């Protein structure tokens, strides 16, 4: 896992408002560059050109859902080990561990606090860098 400063985050979210708000929140400090995609397909298509250091991935999406997108991204050259954080409101009992089994390094429940979002993401990044996962 890289110990570099987090700069490029790929945000995949089908809801345009949340995508906008999350994007704004993450970019507010100017430290992060965000590539916001509205679907898994778009993310897979554009990720190689962006080379994200971390992916924020909505779990429930039409078409390719979160897990499918994760798999597809990981299949891309250079992204085999990219840390993925699921954002979801629909977490069922017993599913938390499944997210981590799928390869996620963190979980951000919706609704999230936009003002704290950047810090949360950075925290997950730091923990992932030291080999921890964040629930």
Nearest distance, CB of residue 87 and other proteins, angstroms = 9
C-alpha to C-alpha distance for 29 and 105, rounded to whole angstroms? 23
Scanning residues 27 to 66, which ones bind other proteins (CB under 8 A)?
Answer: 28, 60
Which residues does 19 contact at the CB level (< 8 Å), separation at least 6?
11, 13, 36, 38
Contact 100, 79 (CB under 8 A): no
The token duo for 38 is 């509205």
Which residue stretch of 33-41, 63-71, 72-80, 103-111 sits at the interface with other proteins (rule: CB under 8 A)? 103-111
Q: Which of 95, 101, 119, 123 binds other proteins (CB under 8 A)?
A: 95
Residues that bind other proteins (CB under 8 A): 15, 17-18, 20-22, 24-25, 28, 60, 89-97, 107, 109-115, 135
């Amino acid at each position: 896992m890289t110990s570099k400063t987090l700069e490029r985050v790929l945000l995949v979210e089908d809801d345009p408002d949340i995508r906008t708000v999350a994007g704004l929140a993450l970019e507010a400090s100017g430290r992060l560059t965000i590539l916001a995609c509205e679907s898994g397909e778009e993310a897979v298509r554009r990720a190689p050109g962006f080379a994200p250091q971390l992916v924020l991935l909505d779990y429930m999406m039409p078409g390719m859902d979160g897990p499918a997108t994760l798999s597809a991204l990981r299949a891309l050259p250079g992204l085999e080990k990219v840390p993925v954080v699921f954002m979801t409101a629909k977490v069922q009992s017993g599913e938390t561990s499944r997210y981590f089994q799928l390869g996620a390094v963190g979980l951000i429940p919706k609704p999230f606090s936009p003002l704290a979002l950047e810090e949360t993401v950075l925290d997950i990044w730091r923990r992932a860098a030291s080999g921890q996962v964040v629930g």
